[in-house]
């Protein structure tokens, strides 16, 4: 069975777009590789942060729905996003976060890896997880963070489930994950040789979770191409989940469904990628729309708030 190839991207819900950009590009030093809109709600941005090239698996994205209420933590939600950083960099990150007004907790160890957990300015739980080099990664010269400490990409996510056994079976028999270990009430699943883990907690005592500002919206898993996507989609439907038809997102093709516990998953193709409609040297600097929205550019741009890159990220400005 050919399963998924690890994590493709994670999408979360943010508050005001400028505050989101200031934190992820200005403080965490990730590159804004695509400045676009939510294709189902073009009145709001869709902001994509990644490494310099926007490799699949490096991409944390946001819908800035500032009008939403805070989330209701509970089962059926992803409760934390993990970002991979180089080994030995947590002292740097602890000092940097505090310098810019974010107070991380103490260094923790999970599944043998050291990490630093904190909440972003809009309440999203984030963990910076140390890991050895090895994944595809291109450092960004425009980042205020030195190459040696830059965020390399997504490490994974934590999810709560009312019945973790159903999710375990789905992950392993439908999506091709393997169980990598268990500790402290969490079970870790991953795809050998691929970036991106999902840690699952059995939380029958919790209430049903609900999206809000500061919550994860969905987790997207990599597939090679449309043929690979179709094969996995067929297994998803055979397992009883209702999957959408393939949806063209222009930079990748998507299929959405909920796993048995209710967390929204996506199958996303690796290509064509973020440079298909922009010069790779200038990703994220201007508003980019998929071709079917170009006719509405004027009204869309008018509805969006101004958005300015942090000074350190502007071309020609040395961090």
Q: Higher pLDDT residue, 143 or 1?
A: 143
Could you tell me which CATH class the domain 7-313 is placed in? alpha beta
Model confidence over 235-250: pLDDT tens digits?
999 999 999 999 999 9
pLDDT at position 318 over 80: no
- Check: CB of residue 214 under 8 Å from CB of residue 119: yes
Instruction: Grade residue 105 by pLDDT with cuts at 50, 70 and 90.
Output: very high
Instruction: Grade residue 299 by pLDDT with cuts at 50, 70 and 90.
Output: very high
| Whole-number Å distance between alpha carbons of 73 and 61 | 20
Instruction: Grade residue 1 by pLDDT with cuts at 50, 70 and 90.
Output: confident
Q: Where are the domains of the chain?
A: 7-313
Model confidence over 206-226: pLDDT tens digits?
999 999 999 999 999 999 999
Can you give the pTM of this predicted structure? 0.96
């Amino acid at each position: 069975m050919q399963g998924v190839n690890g994590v493709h991207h994670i999408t979360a819900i943010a508050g005001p777009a400028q505050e989101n950009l200031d934190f992820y590009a200005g403080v965490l030093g990730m590159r804004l590789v695509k400045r676009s809109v939510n294709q189902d709600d073009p009145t709001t941005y869709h902001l994509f942060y990644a490494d310099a090239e926007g490799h699949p698996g490096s991409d944390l994205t946001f819908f800035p729905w500032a009008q939403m209420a805070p989330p209701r933590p509970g089962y059926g939600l992803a409760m934390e996003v993990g970002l991979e950083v180089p080994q030995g960099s947590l002292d740097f990150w602890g000092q940097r976060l505090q310098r810019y007004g974010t107070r991380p907790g103490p260094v923790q160890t999970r599944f043998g890896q050291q990490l630093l957990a904190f909440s972003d300015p809009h309440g999203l739980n984030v963990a910076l997880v140390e890991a050895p080099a090895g994944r595809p990664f291109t450092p960004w010269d425009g980042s205020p963070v030195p190459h040696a400490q830059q965020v390399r990409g997504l490490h994974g996510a934590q999810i709560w489930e009312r019945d973790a056994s159903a999710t375990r079976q789905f992950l392993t028999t439908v999506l091709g994950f393997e169980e990598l270990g268990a500790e402290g009430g969490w079970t870790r699943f991953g795809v050998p040789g691929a970036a991106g883990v999902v840690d699952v907690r059995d939380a029958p005592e919790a209430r049903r979770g609900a999206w809000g500002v500061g919550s994860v919206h969905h987790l997207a898993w990599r597939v090679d191409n449309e043929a690979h996507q179709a094969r996995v989609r067929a297994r998803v439907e055979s397992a009883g989940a209702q999957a959408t038809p393939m949806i063209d997102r222009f930079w990748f093709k998507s299929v959405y469904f909920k796993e048995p516990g209710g967390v929204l998953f996506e199958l996303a193709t690796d290509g064509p990628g973020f440079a298909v409609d922009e010069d790779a040297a200038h990703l994220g600097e201007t508003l980019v729309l998929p071709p079917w929205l170009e006719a509405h550019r004027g009204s869309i741009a008018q509805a969006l708030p101004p958005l300015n890159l942090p000074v350190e990220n502007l071309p020609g400005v040395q961090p």
